Every structure is written in C-alpha cells, then in structure tokens.
C-alpha cells in the first residue's frame, strides 16, 4: 500500500486540477482503510499545507489555493460530522480581521482549519470592544487575527488589553503582511504567536493548546 505522503500528493494533484469528482473518489477509497480524522490529518491537511507553501512561493495562483480549500472543506463536512469527538476535543477557535475588510486571506485560513477538523467561529471585521463580549459568550480558546494594513495592528494590542481587564487568558495568533515584514511585531502588539502561512498553523495551534504535534 502506498505511504501517506504519496497519497497526499495524489489528492493534491486532484485539488490543483479542481477535480471535485476525483478528489471525492480518492477520499471514498481512503475511508475503506482509514478513519476520517486519519484522512484529514495525514492526507488532506498535508496537501493543503503544501499548496499554501506553493502559493507563498508564487508557484500556483491564489484562485487555485482558494478552490483547493473549498473542495477539501466540502469533503471534510461529509466525512467528519459536526458532533464528531475529534471536533469536540479540539480547542475552540475564533477568527477576525479587527476592522480590516480585506477578507480573502481570512476565508482561506477558515476553510483550511475547518477542513482540518477544528471548530471555528468567524467574527468578521469586528472592533475589539465588541469582540471581547462575543469571545466571552462563545468561550473561545484561541483567536486568530488576520490583518493586511499596518495601521490596524494596534487593535491587537487594544484587544489584548481588554482581554486582560476581563481576566481572559485567551491565546492570540496573528497573520498577514505587516507581521511578515516585521517578525517581532506580533510580540509588540501582545499576540502569542505569528504564522506566516498555513503550513505552520496547525502545529502552532496545537502548541498553544498544550497538545503534542
């Protein structure tokens, strides 16, 4: 039997071709010998992580990565129900842009994480003051913040201050152009981690959640 790396590559090729039927057939075949979470962890997620790296290096178009995420998310919903134990035991995630209306990057990250089996609430471009109340209500463990504009990074610091005032020990992961240009910026605004692309996202979430990767 082929190893997982080869099977993930075959699945990746189907995604690049935007071939929904072939991708579905490959996953259906895997279900005969693997659990849904094994498929997500060892085939779907690695394929998407590799595509994310290729996009960062300019080897594929943004539209290709986006469609790959959408197809994978559709398949994941079929094989991993909302009440799956794998979802319930994972950290509860939220995502926002804190007022930044450039949403494509956020959508891609959200699709990737849902495909990987995480429960994720999308708070949209909400301001820090309103977001804190939502975070308390939803009992979020880790918040992901995607920002494109440098002047909006100060809102992460504002959010951290508000969280501390409320006694909330929530973890914050940031991403986006300003944090790539300045690798230390995430610390200056009070975030716990910065991820340059999806290839490091799952391992970072697991680390902050105290899970072994």
Task: Provide the residue ranges of all domains of the chain, joining segments of one domain with +.
Answer: 4-79, 90-208
Higher pLDDT among residues 148 and 60, named by residue: 60
Q: Is the pLDDT of residue 187 over 50?
A: yes
- Per-residue confidence (pLDDT) for residue 213, from 0 to 100: 44
> What does the pLDDT read at residue 50?
83
CATH superfamily of domain region 90-208: Cobalamin-binding domain (3.40.50.280)
| Of residues 153, 135, 138, the one with CA closest to residue 189 | 153
Q: Quick one: pLDDT at residue 55?
A: 79
The 3-state secondary structure of the chain, one letter per residue = CCCHHHHHHHHHHHHHCCCHHHHHHHHHHHCCCCCHHHHHHHHHHHHHHHHHHHHHCCCCCHHHHHHHHHHHHHHHHHHCCCCCHHHHCCCCEEEECCCCCCCHHHHHHHHHHHHCCCCEEEEECCCHHHHHHHHHHHCCCEEEEECCCHHHCHHHHHHHHHHHHCCCCCEEEEECHHHHHCCCHHHHCCCCEECCCHHHHHHHHHHHCCCCC
Nearest alpha carbon to residue 30 among 6, 60, 52, 48: 6
Tokens describing residue 22: 């072939």
Q: Could you count the other beta carbons within 10 Å of the beta carbon of residue 133?
A: 12
Q: What is the pTM of this model?
A: 0.66
Q: What is the mean pLDDT of the chain?
A: 85
CATH number 1.10.1240.10 given to 4-79: yes
Q: How far apart are CA 184 and CA 195, in angstroms?
A: 12
Answer for the pair 142, 91: CB distance below 8 angstroms, yes or no. Answer: yes
Mean pLDDT of 122-146: 92
Q: Is the pLDDT of residue 106 over 70?
A: yes
For 103, the token pair is 């949403």
Task: Specify the pLDDT at position 87.
Answer: 58
């Amino acid at each position: 039997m082929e190893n997982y790396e080869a099977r993930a590559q075959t699945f990746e090729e189907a995604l690049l071709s935007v071939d929904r039927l072939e991708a579905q057939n490959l996953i259906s075949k895997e279900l005969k010998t693997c659990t849904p979470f094994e498929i997500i962890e060892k085939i779907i997620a690695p394929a998407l992580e590799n595509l994310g790296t290729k996009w960062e290096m300019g080897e594929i178009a943004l539209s290709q990565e986006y469609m790959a995420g959408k197809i994978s998310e559709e398949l994941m919903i079929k094989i991993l129900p909302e009440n799956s134990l794998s979802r319930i035991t994972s950290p509860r995630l939220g995502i926002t842009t804190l007022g930044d209306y450039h949403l494509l990057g956020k959508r891609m990250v959200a699709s990737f994480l849902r495909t990987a089996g995480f429960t994720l609430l999308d708070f949209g471009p909400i301001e820090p003051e309103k977001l804190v109340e939502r975070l308390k209500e939803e009992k979020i463990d880790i918040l992901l913040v995607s920002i494109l504009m440098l002047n909006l990074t100060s809102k992460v610091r504002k959010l951290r201050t508000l969280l501390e005032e409320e006694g909330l020990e929530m973890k914050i992961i940031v991403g986006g152009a300003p944090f790539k240009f300045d690798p230390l910026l995430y610390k200056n605004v009070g975030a716990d981690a910065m991820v340059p692309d999806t290839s490091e996202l799952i391992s970072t979430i697991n680390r902050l959640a105290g899970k072994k990767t």
